[in-house]
Structure 1
Amino acid sequence: MEHITMEESKQYIGIWVTDDGHIRHELLPNNRYDEARGYKKNAYQGDYKVTGNHIDYKDDTGFIADGEFKNRILYHAGMVLYKEM
């Protein structure tokens, strides 16, 4: 069976959340994201690009970060996020 990347499957689109629910990343189909932190909605917003299983973020202030999708988990900036179903 051939391995399909997150980029190819587009399974990254949706809401990713930390185990405690404090951080929530909504990856939108238009390559924009909206991050909520705690009770603060829209804490950070910006663009993202998925290449294979790698994601690059650039928020609207110019801050950049990245992450990796492995086994349906998003590892980003020391955080572990799970896709909300």
Structure 2
Amino acid sequence: MARSCARSIRKHPNMNTNQQIQTAIHTLSNAFAPLACHILAARKGSFSFTVVDHTGVAQHSQRLYPGQYCDDSLKGVIERARQALRR
């Protein structure tokens, strides 16, 4: 799935990338609620997200690149982040 997402981004780089990033940000925010999900350093088709607990302490941080924030890839990112948060 990541390859088809990357191909899609190359065909229409501005519109698709921005829409996919916005969708990914929304999905990440919902996935980690009630924890806060801060989006940082969005540029060149990639961005970082940090999951923060209720006291303001960062619990997990990760950078996502094109191909990682499509549906199937993003599900894997969320699952791995949830596993890391459980440790």
Query: Normalised by the size of structure 1, how large is the TM-score?
Result: 0.40
Structure having the higher Rg: 2
Q: Which one has the bigger strand percentage? A: 1
* Structure with more relative contact order (C-alpha pairs < 8 Å, separation 6 or more): 2
Q: Which one has the bigger helix percentage? A: 2
Query: Normalised by the size of structure 2, how large is the TM-score?
Result: 0.40
